[in-house]
Every structure is written in C-alpha cells, then in structure tokens.
Structure 1
Amino acid sequence: MSKSDKALLDVLLDRYGSTFAGEAGIKLSDQPRPLYQLLVLATLLSARISSGVAVAAAKELFKAGYGTPKGMRDASWQDRVDALGRGHYRRYDERTATMLGDGAELLLDRWKGDLRRLRDEAKGDDKRIASLLMEFPGIGPTGADIFLREVQAVWPQVAPHLDKRVLDGAGKLGLPRQARPLAEMAHSGEELARLSAALVRVSRSKKTVDEVKSAAVQ
C-alpha cells in the first residue's frame, strides 16, 4: 500500500468508518439475533429514505422488542407501524410493517429463525446468499448488498463483498476500483466492513470526497 493510499484509508476509517449496523446499536456477531437485526436494517435502508432515518427506525423497532424474528412476527401490524413512526420512517411505514412481519414469518418457517442456516444452504457463496436474501419482502439487490457488505465482518466466507457503490467511492478517491486489491488494504473482515461503509458514504457526495482528499495530504 502506498503512503498516499494509507493516508486516505486512515482518514476514511477515522471519519466515516462506522458501520451502519454499529450506528443502529447492533453488536454484530455470528449469532441469530444480531444477524436478524442486520436483515431488518438492510430492509429499512433499501427504501428511498435517508440512512439516518432508517437507523433511527431500526433502533425504535429493537427497543420495542422486535429485534428477533419471533418478536417481529408476534407484534401487531399497528405496533410495527408505530415503532417505525417513532423513528420518522413515515412514508413507507405501513408497507414496511407488513414486509417485516412477512419476512420474520419466512425466516422462522424456512430457516428456524437463524440466518446462518440460509448461509449454509447457500454453501457460503455470496451470490447464492444474495439470491436467498432477495426472497425476503423488501430485500432486492440493494438490500442484499447492504447485508453482505456489513456481514462480511463476521462471515469471512463472503469477503470480500465490495459492490458497485463501494468501488465507485474508491474510484472517486483514486483508490483501486477492483475488489481484490481494495480488500487487501483492510487488515480484517471488520475493517473491510468499515471501509465499505465509509466508501458508500463518500460515493454520495463530492464535498466529502474533497474533504477526505484534503485531510489525507495534511
């Protein structure tokens, strides 16, 4: 890694390297509860709504006791709508409340509430995992990418998962736009997930790109 690339990496991780799961208070590990919470967050982030609102809505759902598939399934539709509303997730609250209930039911029925079973069914292949994730209501290609970007911190089988948005962010900073050399900049799966989140944030804003570049040369 060049000195300039290391400087960019340090700034990225320091300023923008919190994962979306971390922002939502999810202590991600290879266990059923946090993996399900990440799926919920990916569902919320899939809508055309700010990431801050999606994170706030996830926190409200978990605080209300809907951080497990059983808790989500057993909540009334109105309870889910109300929790989403408290997180200001209002434009999509009714449809999302239905999708979350149906998704929890699917996870319980097909994979016994444990996304590790889904991973094992896919034999750890990220494309097959993405295909199965997209069977959940509200999860399309974007949601599957969000889930995989974050879960690579605890699922080494899927790493590196660096989708187009991540690689676009890297390109804007002059970092490698190919998955393997970019992944080699990270020292662990956790750091790779943090780098991915940072590059997604950077990809959205030229101002942020300029700020990171400027800070890296100081």
Structure 2
Amino acid sequence: MPPKKNASKPASKAKKEETNEAPELPATETNEPQKDDTQPAEGDLKAEANEEPSAENVASNGDVKQRPEADSKRSKKRKKEAEPTAPSKASRRSARGATKSEPSKQQLLNFLLSSKAEELVRPEDEKKDVQERGNIRTYSSSVLNPFEELMSAMILSRPISHRLGLRSIRTVLNDPYNFTNAKVVKDAGEEKRHQALWDAKTQHKGKTADQIGMLADVVLDKYASDDDKEDSQLKKVLSDNDNDLDKALSSLKENIKGLGNTGLDIFLRRVQWLWDVGYPYVDGRTRDSLRNIGLTQDAEELQKLVEEHWSKLDTKHLAGEGEAAKKRRAFVVILERVTGADLEGKVDAVLQEAASA
C-alpha cells in the first residue's frame, strides 16, 4: 500500500501576475514511503528509460510526438540550425475543429503572452489542482529559479507522459515538500524525497527521487557560491566555465547523473531569460510546435519578430528587471505556451482565440 499523504488546505486564488520570488511555505514531515517502483499510476505509459520518449515528446493522451534528434550544439555562434527536411507529425486537433481565420503575428504573440492562453493550454488535471489548492506553483505558469528549472528539466526528460511530468514538478515544488533549492532537497533526506515522488503517483519514482538527491549534492559541492546561500542560482556553472555556454552545459552533463541532451535542451529553453549568454535559443522539440502554430522556427528570427511588435504587446505582467530581461522572458513564455498548446492538442483553439482577440 502507498504511504498516506498529508492533506493540504486550499489556499487563496492563484495570482495571475508573475513574480521573481517563490512563496515561502513550511515543509512538514511525512510517513516513510515505499520505494517500490513497480506500480505506475493508472493510465501511465509502461516504458523503459532508454527506449521511450521523454515527457516533452509524449502528449497528455499518450500520443508520442515525433522525436527530434538532440541538439549537440547550443552556443550563440551556432543558433541557426537547418530546418528538418521531412515534415513533423501534425499536432492533434482540438475539439473545436479547423481554424476559421488566421490571426496576425501580433495577435498571436499577444494572445500567447496572455493569462487566457495560459489557462487554455494548461492540462485539465493541473486546472483542477489549482482550483482545489489555490496559489500553488506550476511549471507551466510560475517563475522558477535556475535550480528549479534544472530539477524540472531532469524530471521532464524521464520516459513518462507530459502530464505526469508536470504533476511530479507540482508535487515537489509545493507544500509539504517545497524543493526550491539544493539545500532544501539535501536537508529533506532520502525518505522525504522518495515520499514526494510517491505522492506524485508517477513512474520511475525511486530512480527520479535518487537523481534529485544527487543533483542537490552536486550543486552544493561544485556550484554553490558565497553570495547564493540557498544554492538556487547556479552562478558558478557559468563563472567557472568563463561564461562559455557549451562548457557550462558540458559541465552539468558530466557531473549530474540522469541529465542528458534532452534535459539540457529543456533547461536551456527555459533558463535563457536568466542566462542571457544562451539567448535566443529554440530546441528541436519546440521547433515542431512553432511550425504547427505558424511561427518561425529560427531563434533569431523569432527574437526579431518579438522585437518588431514589442511596443504593441501586453507585457506589464511579465517577470524581469528592465526591458531586455522582459523581452527574454516573453520569448520563453511564447515557447512554453506553443509547446503546451501542441502537447494538449489546442493549436486550433489558440489560433481561433488569437484571431478573435
């Protein structure tokens, strides 16, 4: 039998506006978890880690998206990548049918940055979780620090469905676990880390819990800096590698067990608004989604498109100190919403809503 969960009280309605700070929530101890990884949650994919696609490539209904080859070169000098010669698998269509009218690029960008788009592409189980628990942190809508992004990328690179990956992230980021930095994860201990992944009702629970623990150990040992007491910013990853992005990513891959090319792609896509040395960047998985929704797949061209329409976009709610940081954050949000729409089968719905906005 699985261990008992701690009941959490519903909180107030979730905030729509992004902030740079995570809410401080008290952690509580839980019962000792079972570490048996042989009982996947109902409806989960029965996959082997070396054979199946990651959560980034598995739609919420279990459909496998075409899996692009991992990008081996991510530095700013090599951002222009050749477009695939064969068309990708078409995204699943929403129940609303074919698009009646196409939005302008400005309409589409503005809608993707809106709270309405955030809710439209949010998985149904996440909507229910937010309604029941209130102001919880989610991968799809919260501003995460670099450590949280790296931990989330590791989870999403596992061979599980997209929704299972997001549910696992919601579980570890919120009460009673609040795994928001390396020190908290380290101090939680092995039993609490295993309990967190058991409560997420995910696959590969034990292995993922162990890898999260090892991630915290590596960050504390190799990447902790004096001005980052909580070890959440990963500043030394760049500074110890002369601010060279390729060297920094190679260092992470070499030192962190369970972090491969897929995880690094996900991490860089999300952290580039904070690590401007990696901006602009579009990974292979997201290029498919950009194509399906009708936006350019080239990172620099997409950056220019955002710049072109910037003055007419609603960006006041975005995180970031200064206009440059807000532009990078907008770029990341657009990529996240496009990928979410593709995985949730909401591409047509997004286009229709954007056209009518």
Normalising by structure 2, we get a TM-score of 0.52
Q: 1:45 to 1:171 in 2, by over 3 A?
A: same
Does the 8 A contact of 1:26 with 1:37 survive in 2?
no
Q: Which residue of 2 aligns with 1:178?
A: 298
Q: Distance in 1 between matches of 2:265 and 2:343?
A: 16
Q: Is the 8 A contact 1:167 1:179 kept in 2?
A: no
1:43 match: 154
Higher helix share: 1
Does residue 1:23 correspond to 2:143, yes or no? no
Partner of 2:199: 86
Q: C-alpha displacement at 1:65, in angstroms?
A: 4.6
Match of 1:120 among 239, 244, 250: 239
Q: Which residue of 2 aligns with 1:146?
A: 266
Cα distance change, pair 178–85 in 1 and its aligned pair in 2 (3 A): same
2:276 corresponding residue in structure 1? 156
Work out whether 1:102 is the aligned partner of 2:214: yes
1: distance between equivalents of 2:338 and 2:301?
A: 15
Task: Judge conservation of contact 2:223–2:236 (CA < 8 Å) in 1.
Answer: yes
Taking the aligned partners of 1:54 and 1:143, their CA distance within structure 2 comes to: 12
2:186 matches 1:66: no
Q: 1:16 to 1:130 in 2, by over 3 A?
A: farther
Matches within 5 A, 1:126-137: 126-135=245-254, 136-137=256-257
The gaps in structure 1 that reach 5 residues or longer are 29-33
Distance 1:68 1:149, change over 3 A: same
- AA paired with 1:101? G
Structure 2 unaligned blocks of 5 or more: 1-102, 123-136, 225-230, 311-326
Provide closer, same or farther for how the CA distance between residues 59 and 173 of structure 1 changes in structure 2, counting only shifts above 3 A. Answer: closer
Report the aligned-residue RMSD. 2.6
Q: Which moved more, 1:71-80 or 1:157-166?
A: 71-80
2:332 equivalent to 1:212? no
Q: Which amino acid aligns with 2:214?
A: D
CA distance in 2, matches of 1:17, 1:119: 31
1:181: how far off? 0.7
Amino acid in structure 1 at the alignment position of 2:331? L
* 2:150 partner amino acid: L
Larger radius of gyration: 2
- Give how far 1:83 is off: 0.9
Distance in 2 of aligned mates of 1:58 and 1:124: 29
> How far apart in 2 are the matches of 1:9 and 1:17?
13
Counterpart residue number, 1:165 = 285
SS state of the match for residue 139, structure 1?
Answer: coil
Relative CO higher for 1 or 2, CA cutoff 8 Å, sep ≥ 6?
A: 2
Distance in 2 separating the partners of 1:140 and 1:160: 21
Cα distance change, pair 198–66 in 1 and its aligned pair in 2 (3 A): closer
Calculate the TM-score normalised by the size of structure 1. 0.82
SS of the residue aligned with 2:280? coil
Aligned residue type for 1:193? V
Q: CA deviation at 1:217?
A: 2.9
